Amino acid sequence: MVSFRPVDLRNFSDEASLFFTIARQWRNPLVFLDTEFPGTIYAPTKPYSTLSLAERYALLKKNADELRLIQVGITLSHPSTEKKIAITWQFEIRDFDLRCHPFDPDSIHLLRSSGIVLERTRRLGIPSTWLAGLLVDAGLVGCRSRATWVAFHGCYDFAILFKSLLQMTVKLPATLDMFTAWARRLFGSKLYDLKCLAKSCRLHGGLEKVAMQVKAERAVGAKHHAGSDSRLACEVFLKIKETYFFGNGDDVGDEVKLPCEGVLSGF
């Protein structure tokens, strides 16, 4: 089976069927998330490190309420580390229209220079609500989910996907406590921000730098593509678990409590 699977309007039905089957068969998979979106529009009025938690969330909310997805990468990894099976889907999302939606010019330039053709994504991408429906049907979100969700510096990834799961009809909750409660209802308590986990192991920097420190290699694609980055996050997470938490059990979801469970970087 091909381990990297690009998805758009033309093959969504077939790929959704495979995604559903794998998610149900593995029952409690590790789900690695990465997104591409048109950058942050609003900047803090003072150094980020001086912001209170409430101010940090207000900034996240102000941006996420305006932002739309361009790409979503999801890597499903078998819960048994002995099997070392992972499959990556890269979903092209049509929500963002360069002609009428807000964006950060530098971020758009980075996406274009990385090979993402925004006009093609707009034409051939799927609505994010289709992906949201697939995640629900596959049992990866909601109160009955047994999945473990992981993202690197994932506050915006989870916040923007949060909107899609609620059918793009609402803005983010007013307070951090309310958002945290909703996030737990949707993604469960077994949620990890890989940046926080890396810091607990004295590993610092962005995803690429942390990957170099733990000798994890990019298995597919190129950086700044959601599928490739979600797969690299998977490789880094498994390396950290193997290197720093060896012998603590084999199933993150049921047996092991790694540090920083439920904590998002920056909060």
Cα–Cα dist 77/250, whole Å: 13
CB 60 within 8 A of CB 156: yes
Identify whether 264 is part of a domain: no
Distance (Å, rounded) from C-alpha 47 to C-alpha 52?
11
Task: Give the SS3 label for residue 191.
Answer: strand
- Residue carrying the six token digits 């983010």: 172
126-140, 156-170, 192-206: least confidently modelled range: 156-170
Residue 45 to residue 42: CA distance in whole angstroms:
9
Asked, for residue 252, whether it belongs to a domain, the answer is no
The residue type at 199: K
| Residue 27: per-residue pLDDT | 85
Q: What is the mean pLDDT of the chain?
A: 92
| Bridge partners, residue 150, by sequence | 32, 192
Residue pLDDT, tens place only, 44-99 = 999 999 999 999 999 999 999 999 999 999 999 998 866 679 999 999 999 999 99
**255 pLDDT band (50/70/90 cuts)?**
very low
Domain membership of residue 223 (yes or no) is yes
For residue 240, count other CB atoms closer than 10 A to its CB. Answer: 21
Q: What residues contact residue 154 under an 8 Å CB cut-off, 6+ apart?
A: 33, 193, 194, 195, 264, 265
Strands of the sheet with 148-151, listed across from one edge: 4-7, 86-92, 71-77, 30-36, 148-151, 191-193
Q: Is the pLDDT of residue 254 over 70?
A: no
For the chain, percent of residues with pLDDT exceeding 70: 93
Where residue 243 falls (left for φ over 0; alpha for ψ -120 to 50; beta otherwise) is: alpha
Nearest-angstrom CA–CA distance, 111 and 38: 8
Instruction: Write down the pLDDT at residue 33.
Output: 98
User: How many folded domains does the chain comprise?
Assistant: 1
pLDDT confidence tier of residue 2, bands split at 50, 70 and 90: low
Tokens of 72: 């979503």
Identify the CATH number of the domain in which residue 55 sits: 3.30.420.10
Residue span of the structural domain in which 142 resides: 4-244
pLDDT computed for residue 159 by the predictor: 94
> Strand pairing partners for 74?
33, 89
Q: What's the pLDDT score for residue 195? A: 97
Q: Which residue bears the tokens 């737990």?
A: 184
Can you give the pTM of this predicted structure? 0.93
Handedness of CA 222, 43, 158, 189 (dihedral sign): positive
Rounded Cα distance, 143 and 91, in Å: 24
Q: For 167-225, how does the pLDDT look when each residue is reduced to its tens digit (9 = 90+)?
A: 756 789 999 999 999 888 899 888 999 999 999 999 999 999 999 999 999 988 899 99
Q: What is the pLDDT of residue 81?
A: 64
